[in-house]
Each structure stands twice: as structure tokens, then as C-alpha cells.
Homo-oligomer: A and B are copies of this chain.
Amino acid sequence: MNKRQPITIKEVAEKAGVSQMTVSRVLNKQKLVKESTREKVEAAIAALNYRPNLMARGLAGGRSKLIGLAYYNPSPSYLSALLVSALKHCRDLGHHLVIEDLADIENDSDTSAIVKRLSTIRLDGLILAPPLSSNTALLKLIQEFGLPTVLLGNTESAESQSTVVFDDTAAAQRMTDLLIEKGHDRIGFICGPLDHPSSGQRHDGYRQALKAAGIQFDEALVFEGDFTFRSGMDIGDRMLDLDVPPTAIFASNDDMAAGVIAAAQRRSVQVPEQLAIVGFDDTAIAAAIWPRLTTVHQPIAEMAQDAVDIISQVTSSDWNGQPLHLINNNIQIIERESLSERG
């Protein structure tokens, strides 16, 4: 068909018998166009099968319709969940997602290299997944650069940038409560990497629940993992090697919980009869192992959608300049087979 000669706004204007400007107005859904004119233009657009050129729009106007999503060393399952949802919502809103894997962000010069890289694409906005969202050096550079940004997950810093967060503390507390309710009082905890603020918060939630239940906190039952299956398995082994092993283990994400299950199965410890194991996030892996994980459902999809919405709003002309802060309070515990009443 239209092999390498795409229809332009000019041709649409001619066909509709109006000026380019009017077509542009229709395209941008501006209100100051007479209904009959709008219809004529829309007919011409449809007839010619016209598609606006994103590049030209980006150059001339402000918006590029491109939203960046940057991450660093994510858990694959978290990333997929994030991507799929962000993508879907972008599509609905007519945006496109540009993915940036900020793999080599180790020192300050890397950080500025990344900002440079981001600045050649003319992103309308940027979504930062944890733990990037708490990398203050990066945040500062991006802000200087003036790119609207949404921070995902808890961050200590940013009042000045929009955020979408989950109440990790409350969620971890709820999960620990459940464990206690099921009769456990010797509960191991696997913490996430400390560069994720949510790691500390999940740990806090765990401790608060213990305290509320009058259970003595035992440092020997807390280990730090790195969110990988592998680390969960290693730590599971170490916990089971303790003189008095825990009767339940709460891992700060599903991958590590799956690792603990593997460690238990390898040494024929029955789950959940001899050892209950619970996770956090409710990503795909939680239901893809046996026994399936009881886990905290983190509404990653909703949060991704909110992040896209915020960029979309911030980009629009009627925007008061204030950053938005969304707290997602949709805390749910998904109960599956990896936790049962303690016999």
C-alpha cells in the first residue's frame, strides 16, 4: 500500500478542505472546533488512513508520547508484572513505553551517563522501579534535568517527585500476624537487600507484629537475602541447620520463599507440616511451585497503572506543578498451601 510515502497532515487538510491547523486541533482534541468541521476532518483522516508522525509531533510540540520505564537488577517476576501492566495502560492512553535497563549504574559517572542517555530520547516522563527510586544521586540529576518522574516503591527522599507506594510495613505486619495466629512463635525472617527501602519496612512490620504479640525478637532468626531464589535456598539451609530451627519462615519476596521451599524439599522437610513458608509480592512464581505460596499480594499491576496515569496527567497542560503521592492500601494475603494451622 503506502509503502514509504505515509500520509501527512497536509494531505488530510486538503482532502477535508481546511487548513493543517484545523486538522491538528482535531487530532489534539481541542475544543475550539465546530462540530461539522470536526466531522469533515475525521472523515478525511479515516478515508486516507492517516496516522500522525510521532517524531514530528515531538519536535514541534512538547509531547513525545514516550514514557520511560527504568529498572536495575529487578526480580524477573516483579519486572514482568510491572511491564505487562504498564504496557497495557500505555496502550490505552496512546503512549508508548521505552524500557531502560540501567544495568551499569555503579558510580556517579555512570549515573550521569545514564541521564545523558535518557535525555536524547525526548521522554514525556520516567517511571523508576525500586531500588532506582531511592538512588538519590540519580534522582537529583533527573530532577535537575527537569524530567517528570514517578518513583515506584518506598523511598526515603523525594517529596518533590511523584510517588506510588505500597504500605510494606503494614503488609508485613499483617502477614506476621497471620503466622502467629496459625500458632507459630518461632518465625524466621529473610530480609531483602538493604538498598531497597522496602526491605527495612518489611522487617519493621515483622518486628512490630512480634512485639504486639509479645514474642521476643530473636536476631538469630533474621537473615539478609538478595531477592534471588538462590539466596533463599542458601538461607533456608542455614535456618534449618540452626539448633532450634524456626517453625515458619517469612521471606521478603516470593523468589526467596521458593528457594526456602526448595531447600526444605531437598532435605525432606515437609512443607507446611514441619515448616511453614510464606512470601511477599504474589508474583507468578508463587503459584508455580508446589506447595503454592501463601504470600502478600502486592498490587504491582495497579501501581504500574497509577504511575502511567500520573505521567499522563503531569504531561497534560492543566497541571498545577505539584507532585502526586499515591499510597496503595490494597493489602491482601493470598492463602495457599505453604502455610497451615500448626499441629
Contacts and interface: CB of A to CB of B under 8 A. Distances in A.
B91 A288 contact: no
Nearest to A96: B98
A58 B59 CA distance: 9
A255 B288 contact: yes
A166 interface: no
Interface in A213-261: 229-230, 233, 255, 258-259, 261
A117 B54 CA distance: 11
A70 to B, nearest CB: 11
Interface stretch (A119-127, A295-303, A326-334): A119-127
Interface stretch (A72-80, A167-175, A191-199): A72-80
Contacts of A324: none
Nearest to A4: B146
A32 interface: no
B290 A263 contact: yes
A51 B145 contact: no
A258 B88 contact: no
A138 interface: no
Q: Which 9 A-B pairs have the closest CB atoms?
A: A262-B290, A55-B58, A229-B288, A76-B80, A87-B101, A51-B120, A55-B59, A3-B146, A265-B290
A261 B291 CA distance: 11
Contacts of A116: 49, 51
Given A3-B146, A80-B79, A88 B59 contact: no
A117 B87 CA distance: 14
A119 B6 contact: yes
Interface string A46-69: 000101111110110000101000
B51 A119 contact: yes
A233 B292 CA distance: 12
A21 interface: no
A18 interface: no
Contacts of A91: 100-101, 103, 117
Contacts of A2: 145
B49 A53 contact: no
Contacts of A83: 79, 83, 99
Contacts of A263: 290
Contacts of A84: 101
B284 A262 contact: no
A289 interface: yes
21 contacts: A1-B145, A2-B145, A3-B144, A3-B146, A6-B119, A51-B116, A51-B119, A53-B120, A53-B122, A54-B122, A76-B76, A76-B80, A88-B103, A91-B101, A99-B99, A258-B289, A261-B290, A262-B290, A262-B292, A263-B290, A285-B288
